[in-house]
Structure 1
Amino acid sequence: MDQQRARWFGLIAISLGVALIVVDSTIVNVAVPYIVRDLDLSSTEVQWVQESYTLVFAATLLVFGVIADRIGRRRMLVIGATLFAIASVIAATSPSGPLLIGSRVLQGVGGAMVLPTSLSLINATFTGRERGIAFAVWGSTIGGMAAVGPLLGGWLTTAFSWRWAFGINLPICVAIVVGTLLFVRESRAERAGALDVVGALLVAAGFGAIVFGLIEGREYGWWATASRFAIGSWSWPFALSPIPVAFALGILVLGAFIVRGRARIRAGRANLVDFRLLRIRSFRNGNLVAVAVSLGEFGIILALPIWLQNVEGLTALQTGLVLLALAVGSFAASGAAAATSGKLQPITVVRIGLVLEIVGVALAGVAVQPDQGWGWLVPCLFVYGVGVGLATAQLTSVVLVDVPVQQSGAGSGITSTARQIGSALGVAVLGTVLYSGAQAVLQRRLDDAGLPRGASAPLVDAVVNSAGTAIAGLEANGATRAVAAAARAAFSDSTAFAAYTAAAFLVIGLLASFSLSPARTVRPEPTAGVDVPAA
């Protein structure tokens, strides 16, 4: 097979790797009610099933981006897909919530090996207009798979078991490994820096503390201690909740990482983040936009499946079919993005996509009502999907366009980390809005109905801690049918709150995009697959 055709077959293998990462981060959402019933998970554990994956993913992306530059990007992608397959088998056979969360941590490590290397391999393999097309395929894969994941997970969960939602990863990983070894050329940096293990630990600890605070705030109290926090035999002894302490610690640790990193770079030593890349205006500002956009882009996919199944009574498969509208919109946008290549500035396409995302997700918040059904969600999700497809594909091109190829591993690692940090914080924030909103609204409705706190508080806890799966049981009992109606209304309101919060984050991303200039200085294209020194 000639090299020209092999590159495009290699792009298929690379895109499969991206699809695997995105599908696995979304496939869990439609299976959540089934996992809750099978493994008896609490709402906090539900969030950790998602966040353990995303947090580890974000914390290790930079490390594996640098390692891939040293040992070879193709090799790193193969190692990551293999590790992901092993973790998926563990997840599919998990008998308990803690083991499932642990397997998700391992999946996060494997995913962090795959995603940045996929970007750097595309950057090193394609040039010119072909690079724009390849990035469009990469970006539209992310947007489309965000909805195909729930559809596939819904079918597997309904027809077989939620465990197959993880088991399906095994044949996909095999296809990725085989396709990568056959069709993708190896590439590595000529001058790769040393590993910064301390920096990686600081990033993981800093963001871990912040995400812990966002998820556990409902449990332990946002300011004053609301329930006992213990590690082994040691218990938190203060009236001040551990949550504000976690936030402060996270900010201090991340501040120490930045100060330490800048000092190391001045001294000519290796650092986890090459802050010199941030001197590139398109790269610096593009990453700021990426963080803001990711805060709102996929977090809503956590809330909608819970509402569709536990409020509207849809099955996992039916939920996936509703969310398929997002995938259809994203794939339609991929064709539009390719057609506009060279005709519209990439940042213009990004802004069009963001506007469509804002409109789609805001209207979805309006459509989420317990008494008007789910039909109005379909056009909203289609518009949202078109926006995701446009914005995701072209934002990547904007961010990496001026990054030298020999630094593409580090650059794509920073870009991917920015996206994942935004996603992790977005899922944590929107999950907190969803559950805290449901708890507050349901408690208020039961208070207004005259139900004593002694009787209503356990019902509220049962509904919220079960992520809404207790609603069906309450509705089946004539004595608690009114409570079930109140719970359905509360989850509808809190899902709408989550949608509006996502829209607000996207508005911030849109406003931040105006810091990016539509013009750019064209630099000479390097030879595909060969790392060349920066000018």
Structure 2
Amino acid sequence: MPDRRRWLALVTVSVAVSLIIVDSTIVNVAIPSIVDDLGIDSTQVQWVQESYTLVFASLLLVLGVLADRWGRRRMMMTGVVVFAASSLLAATAPDGTVLVGARLVQGLGGAMILPTTLSIINATFRGRERGIAFAVWGSTIGGMAAVGPLLGGWLTTDYSWRWAFGINIPLGALILVAAALVVTESRADERRGTDGVAALLSVVAFGGLVFGLIEGRSLGWWTTLDDAATWWPWALSPVPVALGVGVVAAALFVRRGLRRARQGRPTLIPLDLFAIASFRNGNVAALVVSLGEFGILLSLPIWLQNVLGYDALATGWILVALAGGSFLASGAAQALTVRYGAVPIVRLGIAAEIVGVVGLGVVARPDSTWVSVVPFLVVYGFGVGLATAQLTGVVLADVPVRVSGAASGTQSTARQVGSALGIAILGTILFTTTAVDLDARLADQGVPEAQRATTVTAVVDSAGGAIAGLEQDPATASVADDARAALTQGTRWSAWAAGGFLLLGLGATLTLGRRSRETTEAPVADDRA
């Protein structure tokens, strides 16, 4: 491919990545408006996020492999069509159920797009240029993760939250035209088989785990609560059942993969790739880091709007500090990587993320202002910008082109599994801590138990949206102050939990760089697809 067209192809796939990353983050700012308009509760708030991520992460592997066989550009363009069509459905959703359904279909489209963009880069660039291309791709993710809230804030404030989804339609059309003109089709010369049973097991495993984590506080972690009594007849809650099914399915997935690999039959995850140290260790680090990175993005917009009182546009401007930090990192990352190597820069980035997110927990107070929040967001964004691109490059550096789609799908799945679990776990921490803290504060004031339960449910189910109504009534103004303090406490613990997971991710990177190229001549030796 001529140089100019190759770099234009990089721009195109980066914009395609932007489409799904912006959509993932733009929703965070729009959530309070969606709650007000559609009347969804806090569990549905999480499912607006998780329904997308659940399908997205579950299908990345199989669609990455299919893209190698069917054509990477074709898969990406199909994904853009599906994503744009489902965005139209989300933009016109009359209730929370339809919105969640639209997000499920968006997850399918996103799963077609993300691994194929990485695979196209891996097939198009070589050597130093490949490192630059990965850096551009990763910096795009970091930057767009922060630009999304600003765009969402503007659209939500000046127009409607529905435009947060509607914007995807013209963007999708532009991507389709550009991809047809400048992206060259590529596919693997060697046709790999797929394993439909393993694909089903992966969906069941991941779905069971995420369902259990999200629904535990509303359906009961062990004993069935009232919310489930109408459709679940047993005393044992559906939550431990779902978690158990998820664990069993995961074990069967691993067992089946190992058995088929010994028989020389196709596996959903190309297990021979895990003989490559950089791929194996990098995926572990990516999963844990993503768990801490993206979960906090659920709680921050809720806190900024419902506790500090900023509107969606102001919230977007505050969160754009993330973009500033990420763009600073993108300017420095290449030079730093050339001088010190990719792995130290990954560690530096994760360390900066830890400082940023823990700092956010420290400064979070009911009377905080943007002045105290923005510096830590810049530091956090700087860390995301350093770590994201370089970690991707480390994971895929030694992967042969012929299995780049499967490898990209595996790497993307590790990240999405981490981000989905992060949203589920940190969202549960946010709302559970808020409920417990608010109940304790109201009990200290002598509020009767029935009234406490009603107030706590209203605040938690509205993701803090009920606080404004409590404040407007003089009789409940003091309760509104308690609710702000409780939601702030939930945000603090959510931030600190994210910092803990990032610390684990930093520990996981200690295994990177050890004989990273020791197996590049193993069973997956490179070819030039």
Normalising by the residue count of structure 2, what TM-score does the alignment of the two structures yield?
0.97
Which residue of structure 1 aligns with residue 285 of structure 2?
289
Alignment of 1:47-196 (within 5 A): 47-196=46-195
State the 1:180 CA deviation: 1.1
AA matched with 2:255: V
Q: In structure 2, which of residues 458, 463, 487 is the aligned counterpart of residue 467 of structure 1?
A: 463
179-188 or 39-48: bigger deviation? 179-188
State the 1:518 CA deviation: 5.8
State the 1:265 CA deviation: 1.6
CA distance in 2, matches of 1:203, 1:372: 43
Cα deviation digits, residues 217-268 of structure 1 (max 9, x gap) = 01111122222426xxx84233222211211110001100110111112112
Cα deviation digits, residues 146-189 of structure 1 (max 9, x gap) = 11111000000000000000000011111111111111111110
Alignment of 1:340-489 (within 5 A): 340-489=336-485
CA distance in 2, matches of 1:469, 1:428: 20
State the 1:521 CA deviation: 3.8
Cα deviation digits, residues 177-222 of structure 1 (max 9, x gap) = 1111111111110112122221111111111011000000011111
Cα deviation digits, residues 17-38 of structure 1 (max 9, x gap) = 1111111111111001110111
CA distance in 1, matches of 2:375, 2:220: 39
Asked if 2 retains the 8 angstrom alpha-carbon contact of 1:325 and 1:378, the reply is yes
AA matched with 1:207: F
AA matched with 2:114: L
AA matched with 1:420: Q
Where 2:193 maps in the other structure, the secondary structure is coil
AA matched with 1:18: V
Where 1:375 maps in the other structure, the secondary structure is helix
State the 1:284 CA deviation: 0.6
Cα deviation digits, residues 98-121 of structure 1 (max 9, x gap) = 110000000000000000000010
Runs (4 or more) in structure 1 with deviation over 6 Å come to 522-525
AA matched with 1:101: V
CA distance in 1, matches of 2:520, 2:45: 49
AA matched with 1:275: L
State the 1:91 CA deviation: 0.4
AA matched with 1:37: D
AA matched with 1:403: V
496-505 or 198-207: bigger deviation? 198-207
Where 1:298 maps in the other structure, the secondary structure is helix
Asked if 1 retains the 8 angstrom alpha-carbon contact of 2:12 and 2:178, the reply is yes
Which residue of structure 2 aligns with residue 330 of structure 1?
326
AA matched with 1:282: S
AA matched with 2:95: S
State the 1:534 CA deviation: 8.3
Q: Is 1:30 paired with 2:64?
A: no
AA matched with 1:126: F
Cα deviation digits, residues 477-529 of structure 1 (max 9, x gap) = 0000011000000000000000000000000000111011266449999xxxx
AA matched with 1:389: G
Where 2:269 maps in the other structure, the secondary structure is coil
State the 1:423 CA deviation: 0.4
Q: In 2 relative to 1, CA 235–360 (structure 1 residues): closer, same or farther, beyond 3 Å?
A: same
Asked if 2 retains the 8 angstrom alpha-carbon contact of 1:66 and 1:192, the reply is no
Which residue of structure 1 aligns with residue 42 of structure 2?
43
AA matched with 2:472: A
AA matched with 2:388: T
CA distance in 2, matches of 1:21, 1:411: 20
Where 2:370 maps in the other structure, the secondary structure is coil
AA matched with 1:533: D
CA distance in 2, matches of 1:359, 1:266: 45
Which residue of structure 2 aligns with residue 528 of structure 1?
none
Which residue of structure 1 aligns with residue 509 of structure 2?
513
Cα deviation digits, residues 47-75 of structure 1 (max 9, x gap) = 00000000100000011101100011011
CA distance in 1, matches of 2:520, 2:239: 50
Asked if 2 retains the 8 angstrom alpha-carbon contact of 1:368 and 1:374, the reply is no
| Two-structure CA RMSD over aligned residues (Å) | 1.7
Asked if 2 retains the 8 angstrom alpha-carbon contact of 1:36 and 1:466, the reply is yes
Q: Is 1:533 paired with 2:527?
A: yes
Where 1:229 maps in the other structure, the secondary structure is helix
Which residue of structure 1 aligns with residue 17 of structure 2?
18
Q: In structure 2, which of residues 486, 496, 519 is the aligned counterpart of residue 500 of structure 1?
A: 496
Where 1:299 maps in the other structure, the secondary structure is helix
Asked if 2 retains the 8 angstrom alpha-carbon contact of 1:347 and 1:518, the reply is no
Q: Is 1:221 paired with 2:217?
A: no
CA distance in 2, matches of 1:518, 1:202: 32
Asked if 2 retains the 8 angstrom alpha-carbon contact of 1:29 and 1:150, the reply is yes
Where 1:343 maps in the other structure, the secondary structure is helix
CA distance in 2, matches of 1:398, 1:54: 24
Asked if 2 retains the 8 angstrom alpha-carbon contact of 1:312 and 1:374, the reply is no
Which residue of structure 2 aligns with residue 300 of structure 1?
296
CA distance in 2, matches of 1:419, 1:520: 20
CA distance in 1, matches of 2:61, 2:95: 31
Asked if 1 retains the 8 angstrom alpha-carbon contact of 2:276 and 2:518, the reply is no
State the 1:429 CA deviation: 0.4
AA matched with 1:402: D
CA distance in 2, matches of 1:375, 1:518: 42
CA distance in 1, matches of 2:331, 2:191: 37
CA distance in 2, matches of 1:16, 1:508: 31
State the 1:441 CA deviation: 0.5
The percent of aligned pairs where both chains have the same amino acid is 58
Which residue of structure 2 aligns with residue 248 of structure 1?
244
Gaps of 5+ in 2: none
